[in-house]
Amino acid sequence: MAQRNAWVVETDKAAKEAQVAVVGLPDIGLVGSISTTYLATHLKAREVCYIDSDALPPVMVLHNGVPKETTRIFDSNEAKILVSETPLPPALMVIVLKVALEWLKKNGVKEVFSLGGIPVENRVEIEKPEVFLISSDAKKREQIRASGLNLMEEGVLVGPFAHVMRESLRLGIANTVILGQAFQNMPDPEASVAVLETLAKIGGPKVDLTPLNQMADQIKLRSKEVLQKIREHEEGGYNLPLMYG
């Protein structure tokens, strides 16, 4: 099998003021993608580069009519933000994250936050998604404990977040993973709100979450309506006239 390669294509010059990076990947509930896209927009971050590869799938995204690569890095005063809008093949994901983190390190980043979701079966019944954290940095773990947040002490980290953690450790970058309870098969902006709130509490960038909260409320309401219709169907509760009872 031919070796897969990936590289960074710079489209603008990045400043080195922001020593924090936020990484979002398309995962459970699209929490990572929603969160980082929202951050990039509300921090008015500039797109400074994208990841290219001869093994990329034939997919591009459109924004304001402009074709874009799916994995891009934005720069703002508060943070550098890696946004990935479509899933990548697992073998390619490894090298993409490797070159992205090397670029972040070269451009002054000392701390990386990885944002994502954890699936829960009864998500529609959960009013406020819980958030769980993992950190490679001892001081950050103490900060998380002192803040009363859910620090995971035992377990297994798998998938793209494990790749980000491994590369961060290799490069000497502190890495904290923030995971919110989320819908398995539909976008979950409410989980993204919970993750971004937690990010702001432990040293990440802060943004106004009002628009994202409003979107979350609308999706949560629609989800409850769908669940109610499913339950009515399962119970035979069609509210039919009594002549059918």
> pLDDT tens-digit profile of 176-231?
999 999 988 888 999 999 999 999 999 999 999 998 888 776 666 665 555 555 45
- pLDDT, tens only, 58-109: 889 898 999 999 999 999 999 999 999 888 888 889 999 999 999 999 999 9
> Which residues share a beta bridge with 61?
68
What domain range includes position 69? 6-244
**Residue 198, in any domain of the structure:** yes
Comparing 54 with 227, the larger pLDDT belongs to 54
**Residue 125, in any domain of the structure:** yes
**Residue 29, in any domain of the structure:** yes
Residue 15: per-residue pLDDT: 84
Give start and end residues of each alpha helix (H) in the chain.
Answer: 31-42, 90-106, 138-146, 160-171, 189-201, 210-235
Task: Compute the distance between CA of residue 189 and CA of residue 213 in angstroms, rounded to an integer.
Answer: 7
- For residue 37 the two structure tokens come to 């896209």
**Residue 180, in any domain of the structure:** yes
**Residue 193, in any domain of the structure:** yes
Instruction: Give the position of tokens 């951050």.
Output: 39
Average pLDDT, the chain: 87
In the chain, how many domains are there? 1
pTM comes to 0.87
- Give the CATH number for residue 181: 3.40.50.10900
Residue 244: per-residue pLDDT: 31
**Residue 1, in any domain of the structure:** no
Helix and strand counts by DSSP (H, E) for the chain: 6, 11
Helix (H) or strand (E) holding 115: strand 111-119
Number of residues written out for the chain? 245
- Pairing of the two strands 46-53 and 6-10: antiparallel
**Residue 91, in any domain of the structure:** yes
**Residue 174, in any domain of the structure:** yes
